[in-house]
Chains A and B, each alone.
Chain A
């Protein structure tokens, strides 16, 4: 372990993107440790990781994003990292904002790399889902998270532990809402996100609708009766 931060890069069939993303991290941001979670990819992802001697964990079967990221959280927690960052393997996230996010961690438990802190959220159908999830989180927790669906989130040890130890803590907005209700302090930092460099996004129209419905239902009904956890060593409000 050489840095305080571990970047967790879940990768499922990301052979077209992973090289660019990880090479960028290694060349320009050597101060951060990273680990790729190869979630049972069926393409060349594991071959690339091996040949380029990337730091990677190989899941023997595909377990899905939730358990893949959780493996990264377990790794980060067990190896004593101060912070863990969930970072997309498809080139959407820009590592130049990581420094600001680390700085922000002194006053929060979870830092979200948000597209809409200073910038206004574009209207239209595309952001409708994001708006609805934002509204449900506001309704249930009283906190206004401007970009709840952002996949760039940094966790401190208290929230990392929660993510690593418990079942059903997916790297999704409903977990964010649950952690807020459990007393976690969330801060958003303005970031820019890029379009995918290659390949098609997992979220098409019908999947987006399904995702949004699933999240809203989970936040409104399920999180409400979920047992709150105790965050030890988190930021005091």
Chain B
């Protein structure tokens, strides 16, 4: 792993950490949802400071360059996050539509009561 890449990774992961913490301070992100970003920025930081981890893992998996391992690792992290967000989105869709259904039915009930009076 070249020194330039290491340097870039350190800066980027540090910036991500700062950015996430700032957003939490401004309450734009729930702590629950921020944990993922803090942990992955931290992991990236560790890998860039100790490239031995990436070198060891790339040898173990027979990957030519340690940089490729870093990319693979990050893609894996992103895929997991993406899938979790897809689940979250489905849940939100479901809850929103349930709310709308309940609202429509309750309004109907109310109109009926008014008419009866």
Q: Which residues of A contact B (CB under 8 A)?
A: 57-61, 63-64, 67, 70-71, 74-75, 78, 167
The 7 A-B residue pairs with the shortest CB-CB distance, nearest first, are A67-B97, A71-B101, A59-B104, A63-B97, A57-B108, A57-B104, A167-B94
Further pairs besides A57-B107, A58-B104, A70-B101: 8, Cβ < 8 Å = A57-B105, A59-B101, A61-B100, A63-B97, A71-B104, A71-B105, A75-B105, A75-B108
A63 contacts B94, CB within 8 Å? no
Q: Which residue of A lies closest to B95 (CB)?
A: A167
A60 contacts B97, CB within 8 Å? no
For window 73-114 of chain B, which residues contact chain A by CB distance below 8 Å? 94, 97, 100-101, 103-105, 107-108
A235–chain B nearest beta-carbon distance, Å: 28
B110–chain A nearest beta-carbon distance, Å: 11
> Hey, which chain A residues are within 8 Å of B104, CB to CB?
57-60, 71
Q: Which residue of A lies closest to B111 (CB)?
A: A58
A156–chain B nearest beta-carbon distance, Å: 21
Q: Which of B97, B103, B105, B108 has the most CB of A within 10 A?
A: B97
Q: In the complex, which range does the number of interface residues on chain B fall in?
A: under 10
* A74 and B108 alpha carbons, distance in the complex (Å): 13
B99–chain A nearest beta-carbon distance, Å: 9
> Hey, which chain B residues are within 8 Å of A57, CB to CB?
104-105, 107-108
* A174 and B9 alpha carbons, distance in the complex (Å): 48
> Hey, which chain B residues are within 8 Å of A74, CB to CB?
101, 105
Q: Which of B94, B100, B107 has the most CB of A within 10 A?
A: B100
A60 contacts B103, CB within 8 Å? yes
> Hey, which chain A residues are within 8 Å of B100, CB to CB?
59-61, 63, 67
* A57 and B107 alpha carbons, distance in the complex (Å): 8
Q: Which residue of A lies closest to B91 (CB)?
A: A167
* A146 and B9 alpha carbons, distance in the complex (Å): 60
* A152 and B101 alpha carbons, distance in the complex (Å): 22
B41–chain A nearest beta-carbon distance, Å: 35
A164–chain B nearest beta-carbon distance, Å: 10
Q: Which residue of A lies closest to B108 (CB)?
A: A57
A67 contacts B101, CB within 8 Å? yes
